[in-house]
Structure 1
Amino acid sequence: MKRLLTLSIVTTLFACKEEPKIDYVLFSGKIENPTVKSVSVFQGREKIKEIQLEQDGTFSDTLTVENGYYNLDHGREVAYMYLEKGDSINVSLDTKEFDETIKYSGIGSGKNNFLAEKILIEEKADIDISKVYAMEEPEFIAVMEDLKNSKVKSLESKENLSSEFKTTEKKNIDYDYLINLLNYPSYHKHFAKKAEFKASDDFMTRFSSIDYNNSKDYEALDSYKRLVQSHYAKKLRDSDNPSLIFDEVSNAGIDDLKEDFSKSLRYDISPSNENLKAFYDGIMKLSSDEKYKEEITAKYDKVSKLAKGMPSPAFVEYENHKGGTTSLKDLKGKYVYVDVWATWCGPCIREIPSLKEVEKQFHGKNIAFVSTSIDKASAHNTWVEMVKNKELGGIQLMADNDWNSQFVKDYAIEGIPRFILIDPDGNIVSADAPRPSNPKLVELFKELNI
């Protein structure tokens, strides 16, 4: 009897013991040919954890997460993941072919292998943005629908995914599709060179029924977040009164949108923005990040001094490819068209043929064409050779301190190529002049009787 009683107590103890809840993810993997010594896991902009690699490229750690989407960063490469409490995921990849080699195994791997496959579908589609967005509406829509359908077909073929995840991913695929369509009118203007283009009413009706105030999707889905921000960015571009759009964003029911949207507009504080004051006031109204607001205020104060007719910031004794140095004051009496570029900048290099044509057209006129490289000192020989090999014309200079050159800072340059036009008296004509490939540049030169 005593033994039976003991067994009963033991059984009761085991029966009453609560199963431990797993509220973390076991995360491990191996990086072949690592480019840095760690991997980092992000949720949006927030770094969840940085994990150091062992000498053989392996790593292992636990992650405390909420169920949702995350980024795995290694160097300049990014992989998208979906993590849930209780997952035990192992990832392997080779940085020499990052997207092509990434594989997941373990609990929760099915979701992540699909996300990796979705990236490959986009890569295999090999969509040339300039060509696709130059297409007419029906052809463009067909390409986007083919891409969307390929992703959906892949998703539906997976048997080991939960219905909840599939439903979420179908939303993501739909939102990505809509973002591509939403960008079409403005991109088509640029790539098809149709400044007056407007999308048809039938095309635009696709956006009339979208709910841009879904706080749940905004929090959970990066694709929806980008769609909402693209929606308001388009409204800003199309509006004659940007202040009204800023009020609309401020009154929207998504709290995080205000901060996110304000930070997406940092590059709109630029000399080319005709509504500079309205954008500055709008950003200051939306953001609660005091450090960011200080940065924007400093940039706004700088950009405000770059208006047409203001004295131009100067470059002083920049190395000249032909020998010696050149300063802006040496060119006084001529218009000066400055191309700020670098040997590593693809868009800069694509402008070279157009720049040569413009230089040829205005050869002998009262204008100096100056190309200022902001390459690092370590790339000096690369600059010397590229100028020689590509037979670059004009005055070829190298800035004294790459991105930290005073001229670059004074002109609030945060992206290249950047083109600047200065008049013969050293005053600003345009702190963000048209590119050589833009017909408006030659029109501007002719208006100035150059």
Structure 2
Amino acid sequence: MNKYLLYILVGLIAGSCLRDKGDEKYVIFAGEIVNPTSDQVVLFKGEEALDSVKLDADNRFVFKLDSVSEGLHHFYHNPELQYVYLENGDSLQVRLNTSDFDESLVFSGKGEEINNFMLEMFLLREEEEFLINSMYELEPEEFRLKIDSLKNNKLALLEQTNTEFEISPKAFDLAKSFIVYSSNISMEAYPFYHRRRSGEPAIHQLPDSFYGYRNEVNYNDEDLTYLRPYYNFMKFHLGNLAYTMCKSNCEDIEKASRHLHFNEHKLKLIDSLITQKELRDNLFRNVAIDYLLKHDTEEHNKIFIKDFKRLSHNNVHNEEINTLYEGIINMQPTKTLPDFTLYTYNGDEVKLNDLENKGPVVFYFWSGSEPGHFKNITKRVTELKQEHPEYHFIGINLRTDHSKWKGMVDTNKLEHSEQFWTNNYEKAVQTLIIYNPNKTIIARNGVIVDAFANIYNPF
């Protein structure tokens, strides 16, 4: 038996003895965090932070709410985020270890059944990824049958759980949607992954019934807006529809304009299909960020932003998108490096555009919270220094305590004069457009050569 399923069944049996049949509306959500990475936990319903609590001396927390809007919530313990399903009357406890966040997480108490089941589905999906990836080489009908088999096994487990324990209709529908939309993602991805794996020159011809599940898609289910499989399905699905629409109706699109053209299709599809505001806003945001970070021409960026604002004029993410757009415009070749504050090893303030250098300079980024990435990127920089002695390499540290940063610089014997620290992560991301951890900025004499280079690509 799957080890996570065993944990869940044991928890369900033990927790059923604690169930309170009262009709109180108050909700208690409490827990213990082993090896905490922050001093607080924040509870969200959608984009709204309902409450935040500090960990006590024993690393425990308690939320006490008079009532909740029943449904999917999230709790955030920096930098991790995970689901919690809450209904009025719940008294739910969670225990987790941040060194193995999802795998160590177990719910107990009133409300545990749906939460442990959802967690099990999340972990099973992760376990299945390697298997599903190996199946994309199959022919369409064989692939569909195998995906359906995986889906039906999970649905049978949900029915069994619902028979043995009391799960509300709303919670049951949410769990079912998690299973169904996770399966649908694989179906939407199939034609593109199959072409890549098979080496076929064009998208494989699909049976008429291949996308039969699309007849059941609800484009505006408010209860699913923040369910990850539902949202990820929408992204895949809209991209698939845009590709199919363009292939059928658009001819002779210039190669240089295809990226812009494709994303304008996606904007129009969202506008025509999605009316639920939060989902609509989030999908528009996703398309905008995905488009802008692909570094199209400045002229194309202007056209895209104009269309984006026309179709999504009251989007709650407009400020973020405008900031990203303006930042990208400011980081185009021949522009001066931005006036961004950094700190030296000795704590002196220095501006990015004032750093003296001889010849071209490469700025790269790392964080103390990602030791694997730090190890890899410092190894890569060592290689590049030997291959390109004409370049000067400067590391910029993000999201690390100042004393820890200095300790890492010393422990790894990095040159003090080549390492800088920033205390403003959000501004760094917005100003320098750091969405890719392997991003580098190449400049010469304070002028940008390429602000969107990748440290693992040839120089």
For normalisation by structure 2, the TM-score amounts to 0.68
Structure (1 or 2) with the larger CA radius of gyration? 1
Q: 1:121 is matched with which residue: 121, 124, 130?
A: 124
- Matches of residues 197-216 of structure 1 in structure 2 within 5 Å? 200-202=204-206, 206-207=210-211, 210-211=214-215, 214-216=218-220
- 1:49 to 1:402, Cα distance in 2 relative to 1, 3 A: closer
CA contact (8 A) 2:339 2:351 kept: no
How far the C-alpha of 1:334 sits from its partner, in A, is 2.6
Indicate yes or no: 2:295 matched with 1:272. yes
- Matches of residues 331-346 of structure 1 in structure 2 within 5 Å? 334-345=359-370, 346=372
Cα distance in 2 between the residues matched to 1:54 and 1:386: 33
Comparing 427-436 with 95-104, greater Cα deviation is found at 95-104
Give per-residue Cα distances to partners, 1:313-334, cap 9 Å, x unaligned. Answer: 477896489xxx9976776663
- Give the corresponding residue for 1:370: 394
How far the C-alpha of 1:119 sits from its partner, in A, is 3.5
- Give the corresponding residue for 1:64: 67
Indicate yes or no: 2:177 matched with 1:171. yes
- Matches of residues 280-295 of structure 1 in structure 2 within 5 Å? 280-289=305-314, 292-295=317-320
- Give the corresponding residue for 2:47: 45
- Matches of residues 427-442 of structure 1 in structure 2 within 5 Å? 427-436=447-456, 441-442=457-458
- Give the corresponding residue for 1:7: none
- 1:144 to 1:335, Cα distance in 2 relative to 1, 3 A: farther
Give per-residue Cα distances to partners, 1:71-120, cap 9 Å, x unaligned. Answer: 244454444333344x43332424456543522223x4422232233334
Indicate yes or no: 2:221 matched with 1:217. yes
- 1:383 to 1:37, Cα distance in 2 relative to 1, 3 A: closer
- State the identity %: 19
- 1:231 to 1:329, Cα distance in 2 relative to 1, 3 A: same
Give per-residue Cα distances to partners, 1:322-359, cap 9 Å, x unaligned. Answer: xxx99767766633332222343344543444444444
Report the secondary structure of 2:221's partner residue. helix
Mind listing any 5+ residue stretches in structure 1 that lack a counterpart? 1-20, 446-450
Cα distance in 2 between the residues matched to 1:377 and 1:250: 45
Give per-residue Cα distances to partners, 1:266-313, cap 9 Å, x unaligned. Answer: 644447244422442344234455774344334423321322233334
Comparing 47-56 with 240-249, greater Cα deviation is found at 47-56
Mind listing any 5+ residue stretches in structure 2 that lack a counterpart? 1-21, 244-257
Indicate yes or no: 2:312 matched with 1:308. no
Report the secondary structure of 1:157's partner residue. helix
- 1:133 to 1:314, Cα distance in 2 relative to 1, 3 A: farther
- Give the corresponding residue for 1:82: 85
Cα distance in 2 between the residues matched to 1:154 and 1:205: 26
Cα distance in 1 between the residues matched to 2:50 and 2:77: 14
- 1:313 to 1:40, Cα distance in 2 relative to 1, 3 A: closer
- 1:359 to 1:187, Cα distance in 2 relative to 1, 3 A: farther
- 1:343 to 1:200, Cα distance in 2 relative to 1, 3 A: farther
CA contact (8 A) 2:335 2:448 kept: yes
Cα distance in 1 between the residues matched to 2:397 and 2:182: 37
How far the C-alpha of 1:421 sits from its partner, in A, is 2.0
How far the C-alpha of 1:44 sits from its partner, in A, is 1.9
- Give the corresponding residue for 1:350: 376
Q: 1:102 is matched with which residue: 106, 112, 128?
A: 106
Cα distance in 2 between the residues matched to 1:434 and 1:186: 25
Give per-residue Cα distances to partners, 1:2-25, cap 9 Å, x unaligned. Answer: xxxxxxxxxxxxxxxxxxx95835
Report the secondary structure of 1:138's partner residue. coil
Comparing 51-60 with 349-358, greater Cα deviation is found at 51-60
CA contact (8 A) 1:259 1:286 kept: no
- 1:271 to 1:426, Cα distance in 2 relative to 1, 3 A: farther
- 1:207 to 1:92, Cα distance in 2 relative to 1, 3 A: same
- 1:400 to 1:167, Cα distance in 2 relative to 1, 3 A: closer
How far the C-alpha of 1:133 sits from its partner, in A, is 5.1
Indicate yes or no: 2:233 matched with 1:227. yes
- 1:63 to 1:185, Cα distance in 2 relative to 1, 3 A: farther
CA contact (8 A) 1:70 1:82 kept: yes
Indicate yes or no: 2:271 matched with 1:250. yes
Cα distance in 1 between the residues matched to 2:380 and 2:355: 26
RMSD of aligned Cα (Å): 4.8
What amino acid sits opposite 1:179 in the alignment? I
CA contact (8 A) 1:49 1:63 kept: no
Report the secondary structure of 1:137's partner residue. coil
Cα distance in 2 between the residues matched to 1:311 and 1:243: 31
Count of residues in Structure 1 that have an aligned counterpart in Structure 2: 404
Report the secondary structure of 2:28's partner residue. strand
How far the C-alpha of 1:250 sits from its partner, in A, is 1.7
CA contact (8 A) 1:185 1:198 kept: no
CA contact (8 A) 2:181 2:233 kept: yes
Cα distance in 2 between the residues matched to 1:357 and 1:146: 48
CA contact (8 A) 2:219 2:273 kept: no
Indicate yes or no: 2:49 matched with 1:24. no
- 1:286 to 1:331, Cα distance in 2 relative to 1, 3 A: same
Cα distance in 1 between the residues matched to 2:340 and 2:136: 45
